[in-house]
Structure 1
Amino acid sequence: MTRVCLVEDDDSSLPLDLYGYDTARRALATYDLTEPWDNTVVLDTVSLGAAVSLLNDLNWYLARLTSDAFVQDPSVSRHEWLSRPLAREIRDGNVSPDDPINRLKVYGVENGRLVDPTNVLRGSGGDGDYERSEYDDTVVVRVTQDEFF
């Protein structure tokens, strides 16, 4: 299963605000939404393509209600997420899922919320741990070169 994570904007309350829009509610009707972090909504899709398509369908709402959206596909990494643009690039075949990605956005987890996204440059393309001792945990999102700069 490919997972989609939506991070709420400071001024919104997901999923309540998403369900306030009829079109968004219909697009999400077939998915079970969970909230692994207090300021997120996560759902499972059948593939990377389905995840990117869903994000495209929800684009108008995401632009107004979320600060970020990313995807986790087990065929790429079981521990790291992909930014929406990187997921689209992989889906379209412009980037190989096996290509090393060394540009990351690392979120801290504090009091059950994703906070303080920070760009980190990894020395190699492999999986790694990112010590941010001020936080309980971290969430690593691989990003494109354009997103990093």
Structure 2
Amino acid sequence: MTRVCLVGSPDVVLRYELLSRETAREALSTYDLSEPFENAIALETVSVGAAVSLLNDLNWYLTRFVDAAFVREPSIDADEWLSRELAEAVRNDGVDPADTGTFLKIYGVTREDDGAADPERPDAATAPGETGGTGGSSPVAASSADAADAASEPDAGAARTEPGKLVEPLYVRRTDGSVPEYDLRDVDETVVVRVTESEFET
């Protein structure tokens, strides 16, 4: 399955912004949503083409509420993500999947040690207005499968912990088949996103 991840802008509660709007909520209604990172949602589609189509359907919301959109296709790489632009280029046969691994954007991931729920987190379940969605139902409740899905995330441990936060990205080139080390700050782990050459140069 091809995975899609949407990372919310710092000043919004992404889950609320998407699920409180009818068009976006309907587009996401057939998917089980999980939270792989703080203020992010992830879901699985059947292919890169389906993932790109979904992102295009949500474009109005992505430009307003999303900081980054990633696509992960296991047949390309089981661990590394593609940027939205690169995924679209692969879907349109503009880039061979084998040629996607040169230009990289590496995010650091930081994680709270205690795993306790933080009421001050911007994506906390008690976000203002979450019970006022269309039709009188909670937009957050529309994705009640979150707790179960979080356990299926590759980075999740046996105990439920709060998701890690993506921090400053580092742009690098893969050299001799290896990924350069992330050195912008001390982090718990990293997330590698393959990007287009044009994204790398901006």
Which range, TM-score by smaller chain?
over 0.9
SS of residue paired to 2:33: coil
Deviations 1:38-76 (A, max 9, x none): 121110001100000000000000110010001000011
Distance (Å, rounded) in 2 between the aligned partners of 1:129 and 1:79: 16
RMSD (Å) for aligned C-alpha atoms: 1.4
Query: What's the offset of the Cα at 1:100?
Result: 4.9
- Which of 110, 127, 138 aligns to 2:190? It is 138
Q: Superposed, which structure 2 residues align to 1:37-116 within 5 Å?
A: 37-111=37-111, 112-116=164-168
- Which of 104, 114, 117 aligns to 2:169? It is 117
Deviations 1:24-47 (A, max 9, x none): 000000000000111211100011
Query: What's the offset of the Cα at 1:23?
Result: 0.3
Residue range with higher mean Cα deviation, 7-16 or 24-33 = 7-16
Q: Any conservation in 2 of the 1:108–1:116 contact (CA below 8 Å)?
A: yes
Distance (Å, rounded) in 2 between the aligned partners of 1:35 and 1:42: 6
Query: What's the offset of the Cα at 1:118?
Result: 1.6
Percent identity over paired residues:
53
| TM-score, normalised with respect to structure 1 | 0.94
Q: Which protein is bigger by CA-based radius of gyration?
A: 2
Q: Any conservation in 2 of the 1:130–1:138 contact (CA below 8 Å)?
A: no
Q: Structure 1 segments of 4 or more deviating over 6 A?
A: none
- CA pair 118-128 structure 1, distance change in 2 beyond 3 A: closer
Residue range with higher mean Cα deviation, 41-50 or 96-105 = 96-105
- CA pair 129-35 structure 1, distance change in 2 beyond 3 A: farther
Distance (Å, rounded) in 2 between the aligned partners of 1:17 and 1:9: 11
| TM-score, normalised with respect to structure 2 | 0.70
Structure with the larger RCO, 1 or 2 (CA within 8 Å, 6+ apart): 2
